[in-house]
Structure 1
Amino acid sequence: MRTIDLRGRELSPADMLAAVPRAAQARAEALETAARIVDDVRDRGERALREQAERFDRVSGHEIRVPAEHIAEALASVDPGVRAALEEAIRRVRLASAAQVPEPRRTEIGPGAVITQRWQPVARAGVYIPGGKAPLSSSVVMNVVPAQVAGVAVVALASPPQEAFGGRVHPTILAAAGLLGIDEVYAIGGAGAIGALAYGVDEIGLDPVDVVSGPGNNYVASAKRAVAGVVGTDSEAGATEILIVADSSADPRLIAADLISQAEHDEQASAVLVTDSPELAAQVASEISGRAAKTRHAERVAVSLAGEQSAIVLVDDRAMATAFSNAYAPEHLELHIDGAEDAASAFTSAGAVFVGDQTPVSLGDYMAGSNHVLPTGGQARYAPGLGAYTFLRPQQVISYDHAALAQVRSGVVSLAAAEILPAHGEAVEARFADPSAG
């Protein structure tokens, strides 16, 4: 894992981003490929999906619409410990998601003039759950629960067919769906799943959804961009990222463990440590070199940590560390610094902030109650993670009586005339005309 020394330099946000670049070329190539896959599903439906399953998942002849008995079998056979963990995760995420649903708010502009702000759920949500390098049953919880809390009537779930399970969706993913009462499940993977959810596939009974959510690789993230405008999407959750800000008080063992924990997701995963302590930097590098080779996915971890997207970054002080983090806008931010609780408010751009050395990203991945579907690629500067609000549409309901309209009558007419849209003003004046005058 390389070390980048930024000390003693005046750097702009752009300079900081250039120091640890993300894999932009991989995303650019994925966008072109994903768009072709999505278009193929839109144009050829089930035939395209079956060809893609054979090409990408090495599966053929499988049932794309998952039968109810497959879900029931998976739920009956899931490990009791896994089931208990999923049930507890569901409970915690429900509690945290409920706080994201605003109450309707009534504002009286004047006597007889009222605007009510309300939040309406979409009718159908489509959830994508990866099943390749890691069968993310926890992502079923993270996507479905917020949709249910928001009031979405129907959730359709798609996940890749698994060669190891005879073309079925991974059983733990099916079990999680069963626990949540989801019975509309499709064995479809990757960018093709996003296209199928967005456009619908008549042959398998899949109606288009209104919002598509869920994590995935660069192809899944790029497919969301390809269907933007057709459906709503959550942020483009590509390869995972962790950035740790640490000072000399931090424990290098925990930092190394946390960097490795995210690097095991994917060869393109980003793992970044930002510190003003050269001693800590050296200790973390040593810990990584000892730990990384011993983990189950050592080869994958090695590629991630050796990539240009991963680094140990030396900075002058906490202010510079904060500026670097806010410029980078990581998916996951951990704070291993003195006074982390008080300092957290200064870190404004991150998908989720994990405060203190007893709050690892792994906790958020599974049992914290927070959502682990978060913006990557710097989108945390402007985009939120997944929540109940992803499936809600703010809507204003306006109600004026005759007297309230009279109060603004002249204002409407004046502005309509100024904009050379006289019929706008005439529509208001019509409400004050004498109907008997003809």
Structure 2
Amino acid sequence: MCPAPLPTTPGASGPPTHRPERAPPMPSTTPAATTRLAIDGGAPVSETPIPMVAAGLDQTDIDAATEVLRSGMLRQGPRAKAFEERFASMTDAAHALTCANGTCALQLAYEPLIQPGDEVIVPAWTYIATASMIVARGATPVFCDADPRTYCIDVEDAARRVTSRTSAIAATHLYGNPVEIDAVQALAQQNGLRVIYDAAQAHLARYKGRGLGAFGDAVTYSFYATKNISTGEGGMVTTNNADLARSVGLLRSHGETGKYLHESIGFNYRMTDIEAAIGLSQLDRADAMTKQRRANAAALDALVGTIDGLHAPTQTEGAEHVYHLYAVRMDRNAFACDRDEFVKALQAEGVQCAVHYPYPLTRQPAFAKWVEEHPPVSDALAKSLFCVPVHQRLSGDQINKIGEALAKVADAKRA
């Protein structure tokens, strides 16, 4: 049967986006279609659960942190400065400033760029912090829909929501997939808007050959424990504007310009040198980890592509996805179950998976006073997307078992 497309935002259009070259799948060793589901008492595809994330440190990370602990320099210091300089270089940004976490990074970026009472366009399909820090600034989030192909911001829908009160666009490079940056920047230029990119899930992603730090007024990152690069907690703001970098630096540390001399009001959002040392250690192998994630995603693309009713993620044209998450979309009319039942059956087969996200932001009670409508694509994604493991520590056998489990559950649950 033909797969059912997602609903599209009225007026949305554009060429098909580029898919990365796919690696051929390995042959399955079990006839999934003839096997009883584990959730119904059958044997699971994998007796040992395949982990969703590769959280944890390796010995070089531990050694780097231990060296700092032994030095006695535990606060923000030379390791944080080195982390900033190297991260800026790797992302094609002029300036980078470490901070306590990704939410703090958003707050630090929004404070100088957005004023209370401003309207800020933000996708309904993103993590809550992208929008909640707009509210924390005293501004109004104006929710737009997601692109049904890439799941990132629908720029045409965003354009329809610009008013005389709009001052900025906050766009998320979701799941590791960069947004259509040219279109976002063009919309901003046409309307005199600032652009803040949330790259919490997109470390070292690129767009048309350039790092994400080359674009927009500011880019924010998270180094939470499950991210592609992790310091446990931690964040970063990058910019190409020296004045903005200075403002963020002051906000990060109580507006301090000298010892006990404070030019302005600020916060304590500093990163410690312990965290920065771990970040520096992970940057040494970041390219290799990203390359492995892309290879794993290509193998999963090939496996998912053989299963009717399931769809592999689509990469934005001109972008280089880093696959923080591998989001599979299911056609809800192709199966005799909903997404959550499908996920439970998949987990019973030994494949850990997750739903990012069960609700669009317009369905979150916290934003009720700012919601005027529920964007249709975002609503549909909340009922049809789920994520399977793609991290760099997966073995080839585990990837094949993920494909086998997907096929097994799909065949058993088919309408």
* TM-score, with length taken from structure 1: 0.30
Structure with higher RCO (Cα < 8 A, 6+ apart):
2
* TM-score, with length taken from structure 2: 0.31
The structure that has the greater radius of gyration is 1
Larger relative helix fraction: 1
